[in-house]
Amino acid sequence: MSMSVSSSLPKRFTVYRTAEAMRLARKRLDPNLKVGFVPTMGALHEGHLSLMRKAATENDIVIASIFVNPTQFAPHEDLDRYPRTWDRDQSLLQESGAIDMLFAPKKMYEDGHIMYVDPDGSYFDHLPEAKIRPGHVRGVATIVTKLLNIVNPDNAYFGQKDAAQCVLVRRLVRDLDMDVNVVIGETIREVDGLAMSSRNAYLSSDERAAAGVLYRALQAAKILHSNAINNSTSSKATVSVAELRQAVQSVLDEEPLVKDLQYIAVDDYDTMQTLPDDKNVNAGENMIVSLACKIGQVRLIDNMVLSSEQSK
């Protein structure tokens, strides 16, 4: 089942500003229609739009959301500075022709809100993003649960750029028996490899020129991993997790605008569980190398999947 998004005229969509209005509109849809959902915090870019276009080819109805979720920002973070580009976002959605409904609630937490989805800390608290951003995991788990409850989609779409979030959402859906299929879309990048992000707008021209170093650093690990897999004469490659991390570090060290390197992590792809430094890469095992640092004062994250299939 697919739906074409090409048309000579822009496709119009309906905006819903409350959970009640969105829920009612969803209930009025033909139950035989397949519904895709793309949650966002606005400040849309090609990464978001690519997810919406993918959803449009795989569903009859596509619903997107825009809500800057305050509960996933740590106290020291940039909630007030987070870009809010409502008019531009609506224009991009109109031009894309990919969605049918936009859920853009003015608020998602009523006065006196006390219920949150708080994943087991023994599983998620060790993640680098959780350590750097206290409360982030709980905030994401709560807002995703609320959005999925309201929209009730068949398929929900998330971007690979936030690898920890992808693992969290998959586990959330599995453990809470949610009837939704989670679809992960590949990271969309600029010409120099920088992952598209709403926060890229904060970068000065010099910082933007330097920011491509994140991609080059991850590529260094990928090349090292690929060479180890392809040159290995057994099922065990001779490159360790520590060497992969060092390959990333060496490239980042070459760029003076890289500030506050918060982490370089090599984790299991499916669980994001940290792999020990002395572990050699396994030809049959998928890993993910991720990093977070600041370019100037702008915090950027990125990751790259390391798999034996991609090494061939």
Q: At 301, which amino acid appears?
A: I
3-class SS letters over the chain: CCCCCCCCCCCCCEEECCHHHHHHHHHCCCCCCCEEEEEECCCCCHHHHHHHHHHHHHCCEEEEEECCCHHHCCCCCCCCCCCCCHHHHHHHHHHHCCCCEEECCCCCCCCCCCCCCCCCHHHHCCCHHHHHCCCHHHHHHHHHHHHHHHHCCCEEEEECCCHHHHHHHHHHHHHCCCCCEEEEECCCECCCCCECCHHHHHCCHHHHHHCCHHHHHHHHHHHHHHHHHHHCCCCEEEEEHHHHHHHHHHHHCCCCCEEEEEEEEEEECCCCCECCCCCEEECCCCEEEEEEEEECCEEEEEEEEECCCCCC
The closest of 106, 27, 109 to 63, measured between CA atoms, is 27
Q: Which position among 48, 126, 136, 225 bears the catalytic label?
A: 48
What are the angstrom distances between the C-alpha of 227 and each of 66, 215, 224?
42, 18, 5
Place of tokens 């139950």: 31
Q: Is 48 a catalytic residue?
A: yes
Exposure of 176 by Cβ count < 10 A (0-12 exposed, 13-18 middle, 19+ buried)?
exposed
Q: Which residues are catalytic?
A: 48
